[in-house]
Structure 1
């Protein structure tokens, strides 16, 4: 009898341990990711080679289970975030992923724009339609459109911006049906959706989607940036430096391993990001010698100051460099002596 009890207890304990792995808590955990060399994933046709490397840095983000939550509690460089600090209101995890991938795509567009303008080369854009980021529950588009869909025709008409698309939909009366032509997983579909008033905000009608422009940048020589499933906007600065370096004869790396982070705007401004301490850990492990960090114009709790603190705590020999603009980063690198 006692043997059966032991067996039963062991079986129950095993089930509990397995369940703890798959049971999700209402938190996300972020931890140090990787520092990835950019030259293999960014290619300017007939571009110049470099002796060193620019590297993007990442964090790993995932939903917490009991084990990962406990581990993060005792780890200095793992962060715990409540779900509502990661997901927008009504946003699903799938939609969050789509949003992060769009932010990465936008970072690549901005980086290309900044680098080519700095190199004195023309930049133009091609508008492809609108990109669905989020579908609001209980609104007409729910269950018909999904995050990641690209709408490129409305009632057979094309538009040159998302604002024109929205203006057209707003001309409809509540209950009127609109036909949307969209692509999903490289397949083209049509769907008819009736518009209805929004319950909150200004009195207007719509179908209940959050959207952004879907556009591509046209440059010569052409550039390819292959990021696979890396999401978010934080690689913008490093993308722009890698693209510019391949466009120009003088090698900005000077033979060094240069990591960094920061968003990039089309005017060249460098913006702050999350997880700077974890990115310092990742860059240090990858052997980076220099780390470019958003300065936030000298703000007290800037990314730069947090990066300095983290580098000191882990005993890193990396030089942490504050930057507010792309031009500042280029000017610093141009003054570096050859290694």
Structure 2
């Protein structure tokens, strides 16, 4: 009898422990990710090689279960975020992932444009349609379209931008229909939707999607940036340095292991990112000697200041360098002595 009780208790405990791994909480947990060399990720056709390495740094972000939540509570460089700090209003996790991948795609395009223009090379764009980023529940697109669909025709017409798409639909009335031709998983589909008013703004009618332009950057020599499932815009600055370094004969790495982070705008501005402390930890573990951090024009709560504080805390020998623009980064690296 006792053996049965012990066995039953052990089985119950085992089931509870396993269940704790799959029961999600209304939080996200972030922790230090990795520092990845950009050489294998970025390839400029017939590009120059470098002696050192540029590295992008990542943060691991995931939905919390009981164990990851408790672990984050006691570990210094792990953070807990409520869902509403990560997801937009009514945004699903799938839509969040699509948004992150699109932000990464945008950062790659900006990085390419900045690097090529700085190298004195022309940049052109080809418009391919619009990407669906989010579908609003109870609106006409709900259940018909999904995040990641690429719409390239409306009523048989190809429109030159998402702005023109919005203008075209905005001129119609509630009850009118629009036929959309879109691509999903390499398959072309067509759907006809009836326009209706938005609950939040009855004067505004539509199909209920948030969208962005899908455009392709055209450059010569060609460049490929392979990011797989890495999301977000925070690698943009480091992409721009790697691309520029492959375009020019002077090796900016000078033989050093150089990590960093920051968004990149088309004008070369380097912007702040989340999780800078965790990225410092990841870069240090990967053996980085220099870390380029967004300076935010010297703001008291800048990424750079947080990076310096973390570097001191973990007692790394890695040099933290403040950066405001792409030109700042290039100028600093050009002045580095060869290793």
Tell me which interval the TM-score lies in, with the shorter structure as reference length: over 0.9
The corresponding residue for 1:37 is 37
The corresponding residue for 1:291 is 291
The corresponding residue for 2:25 is 25
Per the TM alignment, residue 9 of structure 1 is displaced from its structure 2 partner at its CA by 1.3
**1:77-105: CA deviations, max 9, x gaps?**
00000011011100001000000000000
The corresponding residue for 1:329 is 329
**1:252-309: CA deviations, max 9, x gaps?**
0001000000000000000000000000011001110000000011000100000001
Measure the CA separation in 1 of the matches of 2:302 and 2:319.
16
The corresponding residue for 1:191 is 191
SS in 2 for 1:26: strand
**1:26-49: CA deviations, max 9, x gaps?**
110000001000011111101111
More displaced stretch, 164-173 vs 53-62: 164-173
Q: Tell me, which stretches of 5 or more residues in structure 1 are unaligned?
A: none
The corresponding residue for 2:69 is 69
The corresponding residue for 2:270 is 270
**1:218-264: CA deviations, max 9, x gaps?**
11111000100000000000000000000111000001000000000
SS in 2 for 1:103: helix
Measure the CA separation in 2 of the matches of 1:35 and 1:83.
26
The corresponding residue for 2:118 is 118
Measure the CA separation in 2 of the matches of 1:61 and 1:156.
41
Per the TM alignment, residue 201 of structure 1 is displaced from its structure 2 partner at its CA by 3.7
Q: 1:163-312 maps to which residues of 2 (within 5 A)?
A: 163-201=163-201, 203-312=203-312
SS in 1 for 2:25: coil
SS in 2 for 1:192: strand
Measure the CA separation in 2 of the matches of 1:216 and 1:319.
36
Give the alignment's Cα RMSD to 1 decimal.
Answer: 0.8
Distance 1:144 1:7, change over 3 A: same
Give the alignment's TM-score, normalised by structure 2. Answer: 0.99
Measure the CA separation in 2 of the matches of 1:201 and 1:176.
18
Measure the CA separation in 2 of the matches of 1:304 and 1:11.
50
The corresponding residue for 1:160 is 160
**1:293-336: CA deviations, max 9, x gaps?**
00011000100000001111111100000001000110000000
Per the TM alignment, residue 198 of structure 1 is displaced from its structure 2 partner at its CA by 1.1
The corresponding residue for 1:143 is 143
Per the TM alignment, residue 2 of structure 1 is displaced from its structure 2 partner at its CA by 2.3
Measure the CA separation in 2 of the matches of 1:123 and 1:142.
37
**1:79-134: CA deviations, max 9, x gaps?**
00001101110000100000000000000000000000000000011100000100
The corresponding residue for 2:47 is 47
Per the TM alignment, residue 3 of structure 1 is displaced from its structure 2 partner at its CA by 2.2
Distance 1:299 1:202, change over 3 A: farther
Give the alignment's TM-score, normalised by structure 1. Answer: 0.99
The corresponding residue for 1:318 is 318
Q: Which runs of 4+ in 1 moved over 2 A?
A: none
Per the TM alignment, residue 170 of structure 1 is displaced from its structure 2 partner at its CA by 1.1
Measure the CA separation in 2 of the matches of 1:131 and 1:201.
23
Measure the CA separation in 2 of the matches of 1:312 and 1:120.
39
Per the TM alignment, residue 60 of structure 1 is displaced from its structure 2 partner at its CA by 0.3
SS in 2 for 1:189: strand
Measure the CA separation in 2 of the matches of 1:268 and 1:22.
43
Distance 1:303 1:166, change over 3 A: same
